[in-house]
Structure 1
Amino acid sequence: MDWFKTIQENVDLLSGIGSDPTGGMTRLLYSDSWLEAQNAVKNKLEEIGMETHFDEIGNLFGRMEGSKYPDETIMSGSHIDTVINGGNLDGQFGVIAAYVAMAYLKETYGQPLRSMEVISMAEEEGSRFPTVFWGSKNFVNEAKIEDVESISDFEGIKFVDAMRQAGFDFKKGEQKRREDIKAFVELHIEQGNVLENQGLQIGVVNSIAGQRRYTVVLKGQANHAGTTPMGYRRDAVYAFSRICAESIEKARAIGDPLVLTFGKVEPKPNTVNVVPGEVLFTIDCRHTDSDVLIDFTQKLEQRINEIANEMDIEATIDLWMDEAPVPMDANIVAILEEAAKKAHMKYRVMHSGAGHDSQIIAPHYPTAMIFVPSIGGISHNPAEATKLEDLVEGVKMMASALYELAYK
C-alpha cells in the first residue's frame, strides 16, 4: 500500500462532501452532505469486502468476519459530522484511519482471527441540534428519545423530522447490549499543540478529562455612572472581574492538567455611562482526577458566593454539565505504547482535554485513543491541519494496534 497516496485520496474524497463556500467544512447531522458522506464511506468499506449496514439512527458499520473468533470484535472509527465551518480532519480522519488500517491488514495478512469493524458515527459535535454524542450514545444504548424529540435546529427544523427525512428513525424497544466487542481504538487529531511543541509524532491517550460547566448570574444594581459614588455601587462587572482574576490565578498555581475558562461574558445594560447591574458568565473547568476537579470547583462556587455577599450582590450558580474523567483501558494503552516503541516513533502518554466518542464508549468496552499533532494546535477551524507524514504515522500506529488485537 502507498500510505501517502491512499490517505491523501481518502481525505480529499470526504473533504469534498460538505465543503463550505467560505472555507472549511460544514456537514451537519442528517443533512444531505452528511448522508452523502456516510454513503461514500459505505462504498469504500464495501470495496475491501466489508459487509455494511446502518443502524436505525444512522450509525454506519463495516464488518470483516474473523476466521477463528468471529464473535470477538475489534472496532475502530469516529464521527462523520463536523462543526459549522470546521476543518477537514476532526472526526472524519478517525473513520478514514480505521478503514485504511483495516484495508492494509487484510491486504497484507488476509482474514483476521477476530472480526474487525469500522464505525462511522452519526453525530458527536452538537452543531445542528442541541444534543451531543448522538451516535455513540445510541451505539452503547445510552441515548434517550425524550432528550431530542422536541428539539429543533437554528432554522426551526425538528430533530425528528430531519432524521426521518434522511431515512432513519429512533431505535425500537429494548436494545440488547453487544457482547462481542473486545476493543475500541479511536484515532484523532490532538486539537492542541502539545505534540507539535514537543516535536512528537504520536500521543497515546490514557484518559479523557472530566468537565464541569456552569452558568453564573450576578445581580447588583444598574445606576448612573456619573452620580453614583464608588463606595455606593453594586457593580456586577467588578464582582465578576474579582471572581475571574482570582480563580484563574488559583488554577495557574495548581497547574496542568487543570484548566479553567471563563468563555462567555454578558454584562447588562452594557453601555458606557451605566454601572452594570447584571453579568451572566460561563465557567468551564477540566481535570483528569475527579476528586481534584470537584474540590477545585466547589471552592470556586464558595468563593463566588463570598465575593457576592461582600459586595451586596445576588449570585445564581447553575452547574449544568458534570462529566467525570474517563480512563482508557490500561491493556490497550500498553499495546499502543509497545507499537510506538517498536516503530521507533516519537511519542508520549497524555490525556485528552477535549471530549470524544471514546469517553462514551470506554465505560462499556475496553477503549483507547491515538493522537496525531495539530499544526498550531488549531481545530474547529478551516485552518485545521496535520502534516501528511504525521497522518501516515498515525494510521500505521493504528494498523499495528489492530494487528495485535485482531490477528494474535
Structure 2
Amino acid sequence: MIRQRIITLSWLTLCMLFLPGCWDYQKINDRSQIIAVGVEPTSDNQKMFTYTLQVPVFQQPGQGGTAPGSGGEEPTSNYHNYVISALSFDEAVSKAQTQSDKGLYLGNIQLILYSTKLSHAQFRRITGEFMRNPRFEKLSWVEFTSQPPSEVLAAKTDLTPADSFDRILSSSVKQHGYTVRTHLWEFWRDFWTIGRQPYGGEIQKTPTGFRVDGLVVPVQHNHCMELTPEETLYFNMLCRRVQSISFNVIDGAESFGVGEVKTKSNLSVSMNRGRGRVLRAQIRINAVILRDESDGLVPLNHKDIKRYERVMSDQIKVQVDQIIKKFQHNETDPFGFGETLVTQNPRMAEYVSSRWPHDFAHATTNIQVEVRLKRKGALR
C-alpha cells in the first residue's frame, strides 16, 4: 500500500512538471491593456495622425498619487490617455511604450474612435493597418466624432470612457434604434464590398458625460455624411433591425405613441423600362400602442387602429425616402442596394463596381411599409 502511494505521488509530480503555462507566467501588473484608440489628423502633416491610446489604471485600496504620465498635474484616475503623433499606429504604440513601464497589450481594445475630419483614403489606410495587425482586436467597435477624439475619450464617466461606451454598444442594451453598432471587421469588409459603403455610429462629449447616437458615412467627395438620431432610426428600419424602442407618430395636429417596436426589411433592385433602376424596400413593423390621441379617454376600436397603421406607414415611408435621396445626392450607397444587385446576379459585379454610384443617384424608389399595431388595453 505504501509503495503504491509512493508511485502515485511520483506520477502526479511528473505530470505537474509538464503542465503548460508554468514557466511563461506573466503577472497582470506587468501589462497595460489598451482599451480604446482615437485617431485624428494633424494640422501640419497630412500623412501623420494623432493617436489617443487609453489604458486602465488599477490602484490598490488607499493608494494615492497621480495618474501615470500625468506629471503630477492630474488627480488620480482609473484610466490614462497617451496622446501620440505618429505616421502609423504601430509607431504610436512604440512611442507610448517609452512612457510606460508596462508592456502595452492590444488584445482587449473595445473602441476605435475616428475623427470625421479624416479623408476617405485616410479611413481606409488606418483601418487597413488595424486589420493587418495580428494582435489587434477585430471585434472593436468603430465610432466617429466631430470633436477631437482625445477630448471625447476624456469624458466624465463612472467607468473608464471605453468601458462606458462599450456598455451602451454591447448587446446588454437592446435599444439601438438611434445609433448603429459596427465592428472593425465589418467596417473593413464594407470598404471592399461591391455596392456598399462603410458606416459607423457617432459619439459626442457633453458637459455631463457623453452621448452615443447618430450615424456617419465616409464618402469620396468630402469627409463624411452624418445622420441625426431621428434619421438614423429610419435608416435602421430600412437596412437593419430595430428592437425595443418607443417613439411618437405625428398625425396632423395630434400624435400617438408606440413602443416595443420590432422591424424587418428586405431590399431589392429592379429595372423599369425607360426609368432606369428602381430601389425597392419592404419594411414590416410590429408595435404596441402605448398612448392614443385621446390619452385613453375614448376606447380605440378596430377602425381606429387601422387608421393609426396607415398614418404610421405613410410617415415612415416619407422619412425613409428622404434619407435615400440624401445619399443619392452624394452618389453613396450605405444601404447595400448595389450589393443586393450583385447577390441577385453575380455577373453584375463589374457593372456595379464601375457604374453603380451614378445609376444609384438617378434611380427611383419604391418603398412599401407594412405596420401591425396592437393595444394592451386600458385601466379604468
State the TM-score, normalized to the length of structure 2.
0.23
Whose relative contact order is higher, 1 or 2, with alpha carbons under 8 Å and at least 6 apart? 1
TM-score (norm 1): 0.22
